[in-house]
Amino acid sequence: MDDSVRFEIFHSFFEFTKEEWNRLVPSDSLFQELEFLSGLEGTACIGKSDWFPVIVTARNEGVLVGVLPSYLRKDSYGEYIFDFQWANAFHRAGIPYYPKLTVAVPFTPVTGSRILLDPNLTLVEKQKIGEGLLLALKQFGKEENVSSIHILFCKEEEQKLGEQYGFAPRLSHQYHWFNKGFSNFEEFLGTLVKERRKSIRSERKKNQELGLKIETLTGNLITEEHADTFYEFYKDTHSKKWGQPYLNRKFFLQMVESFRHRLLLVLASKPNGDPVGGSWNLYREGFLFGRYWGAFEYIPNLHFECCYYRLIDYAIEHKMERVEAGAQGEHKFLRGYETVPMFSSHHIYNENGRSAIEAYLEKEIQMERENIASYNAHSPIKSLRET
């Protein structure tokens, strides 16, 4: 590779082909696949009103070798790494905080590659292309007079790259389940302390006694009817917790049409066939990601069965490496999910604002490290308690 690499910025995912884009996406970053991102855009879940795409690309002799998808934002909703206090502080100081640039998957708090690179590049070439993409985004942000750039739920090595170019590191945490080569669910339970094993067995038994039909659906077993059902689940959950949902019915239908090969649905139905609750999940190779849960009525323990235990069952059966179940998660922690660090990076253009936020982040990082260590020291996973 020579100096002929060309960096450009686009504003629509429909400028790219699935073949050229998806070959840059690692297995653990499936939400960056073109079908998912263009699905959000094509169904107007993102676009002109907010989450406006700013896609930095690198081409070598016409071949796409690097992509940095970002979004111009006018608020901070749907990001899950919260900066509302920063925005309020800017407002009190008379400094505009919006627009800003966010590098993340919209409405999706999962870790993954944020800088997508051709896997055939050498390490030196990857470093060069990654730097070029990041610098091009910084230049765009400066020209557009944004307040800041936020790279959320990135890989640790991407955070370290950002530090070289004026991005301050931030640390948070989530709860992930890791497959330690288990042959079945009982073997996994054997790694937990006695009281948690007993509690989980009891929860699963109570679900069995309800007489519900609980199915795990993938591939051609998933239909448009399921899209409608899970959209209604999704709406119900948002009406109870968050108000206005980010996604619409068209998006769920689009995912069934174009992304069905990545979907894994857990659906609970009554004996008469009426759906009662379930979880909407995505997977690729060794990685399984829980995303949306909903139910038409409250049934104790059904959430745990559909969102945690059935996913663990599937991961064990298919020898998958990891299950991620999104933001929040005391329930996950109590059911054998480990506390793990989440990385993000933040560049603030205003010098005074940058100094204040970086000072805050230094203290926050230390607090988060202590929190992660403390959580795992009290984990129901026996091996974590012993370290």
d(CA 205, CA 10): 53
In contact, 219 and 262? CB cutoff 8 Å: no
Predicted confidence at residue 2, as pLDDT, reads 56
Predicted confidence at residue 72, as pLDDT, reads 98
What residues form DSSP beta bridges with 348?
148
In contact, 26 and 113? CB cutoff 8 Å: yes
Q: What is the widest separation between alpha-carbon atoms in the chain?
A: 66
CA dist list (Å): 137 to 113, 143, 345: 16, 10, 14
Token pair listed for 15: 């400028």
Q: Which of 236, 221, 235 is nearest to 267 (CA)?
A: 221
d(CA 197, CA 384): 16
> Domains along the chain?
6-174+340-377 (3.40.630.30), 180-320 (3.40.630.30)
DSSP string, 219-232: GGG--HHHHHHHHH
Predicted confidence at residue 387, as pLDDT, reads 60
Q: Which of 293, 298, 288, 302 is nearest to 231 (CA)?
A: 293
In contact, 231 and 245? CB cutoff 8 Å: no
Q: Is 298 helix (H, G, I), strand (E, B) or coil?
A: coil
Q: Quick check: pTM over 0.75? A: yes
Radius of gyration of the chain (CA): 22
Predicted confidence at residue 50, as pLDDT, reads 87
- Per residue of the chain (387 residues), give pLDDT as tens: 557 899 999 999 999 999 999 999 999 999 999 999 999 999 999 997 789 999 999 999 999 999 999 999 999 999 999 999 999 999 999 999 999 999 999 999 999 999 999 999 999 999 999 999 999 999 999 999 999 999 999 999 999 999 999 999 999 999 999 999 999 999 999 999 999 999 999 999 998 899 999 999 999 999 999 999 999 999 987 666 656 789 999 999 999 999 999 999 999 999 999 999 999 999 999 999 999 999 999 999 999 999 999 999 999 999 999 999 877 778 899 999 999 999 999 999 999 999 999 999 999 999 999 999 999 999 999 998 866
